[in-house]
């Protein structure tokens, strides 16, 4: 047993115990407890403003939880002694708006952090970077600048860049929401391949078809509470709460 009553699961990769987050008087996360197992793919869904992004951002300490505890593997990342930079190296994040470095080429975007943060040699970083670009279907774009790419290509670069740090957890915050419809699929395909490699993934998404097909579990957040934590088929066909039913009626 861990303190706080969270039962230890051998396969657990991320454990969240009674996570609370407030911004001033705004109580955004109201006691979230869940476990994500190694290699599991979790979809996080819920209305706008329900706290989905804040929840993800707490997992890599882009936001500091107000209370509650989070473990990644055996390390309690909410322990004040934790090295936040190390945690972030191990937890890749992909954002809605890509956040690529505009003045670096695609390959430089992918190799920058491994070289500067991890101290990997340029040759090694470039070799790995080219492999990653190949795996997201962008080998031929290595020397282009981001402004020459489509949104879908930019997002695939952002995924390759996150993977270049060899994280063992990947967080995605609405990775396809800023894309034109015809580009959504190419990004979802890359994420699907990644899921098949056994990566532990947490994905905030409005792509309900993807959530249902690819996720092992769906977390439904509403007003800062984890209202449902269920297998996708169960969530989409027989949601338990009225809040989830109402949400699904709007989005499906
Ligand atoms: P979601 O991703 O589900 O749309 P968010 O986690 O972005 O929700 O936001 C949840 C609530 O927290 C919203 O009311 C939002 O305005 C507020 N919020 C998020 N980030 C901040 C911040 N840095 N400062 C103040 N309020 C914030
Ligand atoms: Mg959000």
The ipTM is 0.99
Is 202 in the same domain as 243?
yes
pLDDT at 236 exceeding the cut of 70: yes
Is 18 in the same domain as 77?
yes
Give, in degrees to the nearest 5, the angle at Cα 36 between 15 and 153.
Answer: 120
pTM attached to this predicted model = 0.95
**Distance in angstroms (rounded) separating the CA atoms of residues 176 and 79:** 33
Query: What does the pLDDT read at residue 14?
Result: 97
Average model confidence (pLDDT) across the chain: 95
Parallel/antiparallel/unpaired status of strands 26-37 and 67-72:
unpaired
Residue nearest to atom 5 of ligand 1 (CA): 51
Confirm whether 4 is domain-assigned: no
Angle, helices 151-163/181-196, rounded to nearest 10 degrees? 20
pLDDT at 3 exceeding the cut of 50: no
Tens digits of residue pLDDT in 140-181: 999 999 999 999 999 999 999 999 999 999 999 999 999 999
Is 86 in the same domain as 186?
yes
Tell me the residue range of the domain where 153 lies.
Answer: 102-166
The secondary structure of residue 32, as a DSSP letter, is: E
Residue 50 in contact with ligand 1 by CB distance below 6 A: yes
Supply the CATH number for residue 218's domain: 3.40.50.300
Query: What does the pLDDT read at residue 4?
Result: 44
Tens digits of residue pLDDT in 221-230: 999 999 999 9
pLDDT at 113 exceeding the cut of 70: yes
pLDDT at 8 exceeding the cut of 90: no
Taking Cα atoms as reference points, which of 2, 65, 81 lies closest to residue 35? 2
Query: What does the pLDDT read at residue 1?
Result: 41
Residue where a domain terminates, one of 119, 151, 166: 166
Is 83 in the same domain as 173?
yes
Confirm whether 27 is domain-assigned: yes
Q: What is the 3-state secondary structure (H, E, C) of 197-216?
A: CCCEEEEECCCHHHHHHHCC
Query: What does the pLDDT read at residue 158?
Result: 98
Residue where a domain terminates, one of 118, 137, 166: 166
Q: Are 184 and 176 in contact (CB under 8 A)?
A: yes
- List the end-to-end C-alpha distance of the chain, in Å, as a whole number: 39
Is 162 in the same domain as 174?
no
Q: CA torsion, points 108, 90, 224, 2, in degrees to nearest 10?
A: 180
Tens digits of residue pLDDT in 61-76: 999 999 999 999 999 9
Is 179 in the same domain as 82?
yes
Provide the pLDDT confidence category of residue 25 given band limits of 50, 70 and 90: very high
Residue 49 in contact with ligand 1 by CB distance below 6 A: yes
Q: Work out the percent of the chain whose per-residue pLDDT is above 70.
A: 96
Query: What does the pLDDT read at residue 43?
Result: 98
Atom from ligand 1 closest to the CA of residue 63: 23
Query: What does the pLDDT read at residue 2?
Result: 44
Residue 51 in contact with ligand 1 by CB distance below 6 A: yes
pLDDT at 23 exceeding the cut of 60: yes
Tens digits of residue pLDDT in 196-223: 999 999 999 999 999 999 999 999 999 9
Q: How many domains does the chain have?
A: 2
User: 177 — phi, psi (to 5°)?
Assistant: -70, -25
Of 24, 53, 57, 177, best ligand 1 pocket probe by most atoms within 8 Å of the beta carbon: 53
Enumerate residues 6+ apart whose C-beta is below 8 A from 159.
94, 136, 175, 187, 190, 191, 194
Residue 205 in contact with ligand 1 by CB distance below 6 A: no
Tens digits of residue pLDDT in 36-50: 999 999 999 999 999
Residue where a domain terminates, one of 112, 132, 166: 166
Is 243 in the same domain as 219?
yes
Tokens of 123: 């040759």
pLDDT at 7 exceeding the cut of 80: no
Tokens of 67: 């209370």
């Amino acid at each position: 047993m861990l303190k706080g009553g969270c039962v230890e699961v051998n396969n657990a990769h991320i454990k969240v115990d009674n996570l609370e987050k407030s911004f001033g008087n705004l109580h955004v996360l109201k006691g979230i407890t869940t476990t994500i197992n190694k290699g599991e793919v979790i979809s996080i869904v819920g209305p706008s403003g329900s706290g989905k992004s804040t929840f993800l951002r707490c997992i890599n300490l882009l936001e500091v939880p107000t209370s509650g505890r989070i473990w990644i593997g055996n390390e309690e990342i909410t322990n004040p002694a934790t090295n936040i930079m190390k945690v972030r190296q191990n937890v890749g994040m992909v954002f809605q708006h890509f956040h690529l470095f505009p003045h670096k080429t695609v390959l430089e975007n992918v190799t920058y952090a491994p070289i500067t943060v991890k101290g990997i040699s340029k040759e090694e970083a470039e070799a790995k970077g080219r492999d990653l670009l190949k795996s997201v279907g962008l080998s031929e774009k290595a020397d282009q600048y981001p402004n020459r790419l489509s949104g879908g290509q930019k997002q695939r670069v952002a995924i390759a860049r996150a993977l270049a740090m060899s994280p063992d957890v990947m967080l995605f915050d609405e990775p396809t929401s800023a894309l034109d419809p015809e580009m959504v699929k190419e990004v979802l395909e890359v994420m699907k391949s990644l899921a098949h490699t056994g990566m532990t993934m947490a994905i905030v998404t409005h792509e309900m078809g993807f959530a249902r097909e690819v996720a092992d579990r769906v977390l439904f957040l509403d007003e800062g509470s984890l209202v449902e934590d269920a297998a996708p088929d169960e969530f989409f066909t027989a949601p338990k709460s009225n809040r989830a039913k109402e949400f699904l009626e709007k989005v499906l």
